[in-house]
């Protein structure tokens, strides 16, 4: 939710039925880049079993859950993309389930990589759904957001433009997926939860557009609104924590 006194983010362009097109808040090319980034991070995490300690296990789990969200939005995307294959999302979800267990995770990651390389026909019936635990996604948000904000620094903006656009798209994808997880909401607060998620998605989409346009001023303004949205969400659903 945007703080009092701030203009709310305008809604993303909608498809029939009111559902915004993923291309309006998270371009497919950016999400594909981010999927490849997280696959790379998971490959690093699973490189050596002796180094796969508790911290690395936690990182692998969070990265795999983030990859699952990205895979979901790509599966539903209005822009055809190479990770839209019907088998990709189920394979990523399987990886997320075993990401903390070294040998199964290695095998599951190999399957994800193979499907990503082979492609295939896209699924025609993928529904919006909960694909990752909300607490894992909420742990990932500040990590992605902090990196995004560093990339908006004047000295880094052009050099990190592609990476920063991808991070904004990832935040938008997380927000879209989180809107379907009502585990932190009750009957009275469901609408507030969805409103906050949709605002986060739309603001992150605006940051993505500003980064692509080469406009750091607008991107930085959007990053401030993202921070306000996070604060409002924590105040409403986490008691300010």
Structural domain contains residue 234: no
Burial 15-38 (b: 16+ CB within 10 A, else e): eeeeebebebbbbbbbbbbbbbbb
Q: Per-residue pLDDT for 143 more than 90?
A: yes
**Could you tell me if residue 229 is inside a domain?**
no
pLDDT at position 124 is 82
Coil, helix or strand at residue 94: helix
What band does 18 get if pLDDT is binned at 50, 70 and 90?
Answer: low
What would the mean pLDDT of 130-152 be, rounded to a whole number?
95
- Phi/psi of residue 20, nearest 5 degrees: -65, 150
DSSP sequence for 7-61: PPPPPPPB-TTSPBPHHHHS-HHHHHHHHHHHHHHHHHHTS-GGG--HHHHHHHH
Summarize pLDDT for 82-122 with one digit per residue, the tens.
999 999 999 999 999 999 999 999 999 999 999 999 998 99
Domain annotation covers residue 201:
no
| Average pLDDT, integer, range 1-13 | 37
Asked if 148 and 167 count as a contact pair (C-beta separation under 8 A), the reply is yes
Query: Cα separation of 228 and 4, whole Å?
Result: 9
Which domain range does residue 102 map to? Answer: 25-118
| Structural domain includes residue 203 | no
Region 172-189: what's the mean pLDDT? 87
* Under 8 Å between Cβ of 14 and 198: no
135 within a domain of the structure (yes/no): no
Q: Is residue 162 part of a domain?
A: no
Paired residues of 122 in beta bridges: 85
Any domain includes 181: no
Residue 238 pLDDT: 65
What is the Cα–Cα distance from 41 to 59, expressed in whole angstroms? Answer: 9
The average pLDDT across 133-148 equals 94
Number of other CB atoms surrounding residue 114 within 10 Å = 11
Can you spell out the DSSP letters for 179-226? TT--TT--TTTHHHHHHHHHHHHHHHHHHHHHHHTT-HHHHHHHHHHH
Q: Is residue 7 part of a domain?
A: no
Does residue 129 have a pLDDT over 80? yes
pTM as predicted = 0.90
The percent of residues above 70 in pLDDT, for the chain, comes to: 91
18-32, 107-121, 226-240, range with the lowest pLDDT:
226-240
How many structural domains does the chain have?
Answer: 1
């Amino acid at each position: 939710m945007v703080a009092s006194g701030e203009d709310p983010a305008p809604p993303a362009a909608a498809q029939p039925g009111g559902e915004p097109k993923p291309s309006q808040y998270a371009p497919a090319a950016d999400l594909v880049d981010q999927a490849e980034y997280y696959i790379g991070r998971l490959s690093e995490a699973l490189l050596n079993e002796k180094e796969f300690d508790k911290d690395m296990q936690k990182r692998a789990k969070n990265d795999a859950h983030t990859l699952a969200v990205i895979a979901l939005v790509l599966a539903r995307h209005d822009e055809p993309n190479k990770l839209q294959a019907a088998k990709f999302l189920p394979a990523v979800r399987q990886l997320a389930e075993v990401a903390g267990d070294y040998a199964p995770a290695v095998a599951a990651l190999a399957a994800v990589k193979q499907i990503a390389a082979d492609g295939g026909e896209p699924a025609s019936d993928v529904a919006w759904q909960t694909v990752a635990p909300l607490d894992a996604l909420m742990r990932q948000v500040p990590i992605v957001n902090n990196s995004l904000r560093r990339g908006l620094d004047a000295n880094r903006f052009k050099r990190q433009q592609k990476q920063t656009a991808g991070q904004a798209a990832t935040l938008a994808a997380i927000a879209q997926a989180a809107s379907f997880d009502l585990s932190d909401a009750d009957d009275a607060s469901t609408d507030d939860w969805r409103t906050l998620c949709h605002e986060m998605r739309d603001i992150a989409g605006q940051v993505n557009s500003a980064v692509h346009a080469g406009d750091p001023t607008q991107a930085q303004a959007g990053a401030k609104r993202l921070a306000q949205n996070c604060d409002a969400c924590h105040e409403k659903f986490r008691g300010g924590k």
